[in-house]
Amino acid sequence: MWKSDRLRLRKMETKDIELYHTWRNDMDVMMMTSPSLDVYTLEETRSFVENVILSSTSSKSYIIVELESNTSIGVTSLINIDRKNRNAECIIDIGQKESWGKGYGSEALTILLEYAFKELNLHRVSLRVFSHNEKAIHLYTKLGFIKEGVSRDALYRNGRWHDIVHMGMLKSEYMLEDGNKKR
C-alpha cells in the first residue's frame, strides 16, 4: 500500500479486530470522532468489521502502521465512495493515545489523499469534524480542506451542543497544493 517516511497504510484485516475493538471502546479516542459514544462488545465489533468494513464495496479502510516500531497506531478510511461522481468521505482515528501529537494524523491523511486523488482518481474528498475538535479543524485546513458548511447543534457532548463542520477538497485544489510542495 502507500507509505511515507514514518508510516504505511495497509488494508484492514480480520486480525485487526481486537485492536480496533480497544480503540472503538476508548472514550478518549472516540470523544472527538464518534457521534454515538456507545460501548461495543467484541462480537459487535467483529460483526461491524466483517460485515461493514471488510465487505463494503463503497469503502476502503486501512490500518496506520508506524514503520520504525511496526506498530498499528490507528485507522483511516475512505467511505461512501461514489465512483460515478468520484466522491468519498474520509475518516481518521489515531487509536494509540501515545501516538497523539506527533504529526501522524497529518501524515496518514496525506497518504490517504494521495491514494484518493492519484490512484482512485476521485474528484472530491469530504469529511465531518466536531466543532470542539479545534486541533483537527486546524489540521484539515492546513492540509487544504475548505469549510463547506455546518450542521448546527448536531452533537451533544459534556452537557453542551456542538456543531458538526463539513469540509471538502477537490482534486484540482489538491494537485495545486501538491504541485506547490506545501505538504
CATH number at residue 64: 3.40.630.30
**Amino acid 63: pLDDT:** 96
Report, as an integer, the average pLDDT of 144-170: 96
Cell numbers describing residue 28: 478518549
AA identity, residue 19: L
pLDDT band at 70 (very low <50, low <70, confident <90, very high): very high
> Looking at the domain assignment, is residue 139 inside a domain?
yes
> Looking at the domain assignment, is residue 119 inside a domain?
yes
Q: What is the pLDDT of residues 85-101, one digit of tens each?
A: 999 999 999 999 999 99
Percent with pLDDT over 70 in the chain: 96
pLDDT band at 1 (very low <50, low <70, confident <90, very high): low
> Looking at the domain assignment, is residue 2 inside a domain?
no
The DSSP H or E segment spanning 153 is strand 146-157
Our count of domains for the chain comes to 1
> Looking at the domain assignment, is residue 146 inside a domain?
yes
pLDDT band at 181 (very low <50, low <70, confident <90, very high): very low
pLDDT band at 34 (very low <50, low <70, confident <90, very high): confident
How many whole angstroms separate alpha carbon 41 and alpha carbon 22? 10
pLDDT band at 142 (very low <50, low <70, confident <90, very high): very high
pLDDT band at 182 (very low <50, low <70, confident <90, very high): very low
Q: Which structural domain range is residue 69 located in? A: 7-179
> Looking at the domain assignment, is residue 117 inside a domain?
yes
> Looking at the domain assignment, is residue 67 inside a domain?
yes
**Amino acid 179: pLDDT:** 57
First to last CA, the chain: 20
State the average pLDDT for the chain.
92
> Looking at the domain assignment, is residue 157 inside a domain?
yes
By C-alpha distance, which of 176, 160, 76 is closest to 116? 76
> Looking at the domain assignment, is residue 1 inside a domain?
no
Q: What is the pLDDT of residues 104-118, one digit of tens each?
A: 999 999 999 999 999
Half-sphere CA count of 45, side-chain side, radius 13 A: 19
Residue 17 has pLDDT above 90, yes or no: yes
Residue 120 has pLDDT above 70, yes or no: yes
Residue 178 has pLDDT above 90, yes or no: no
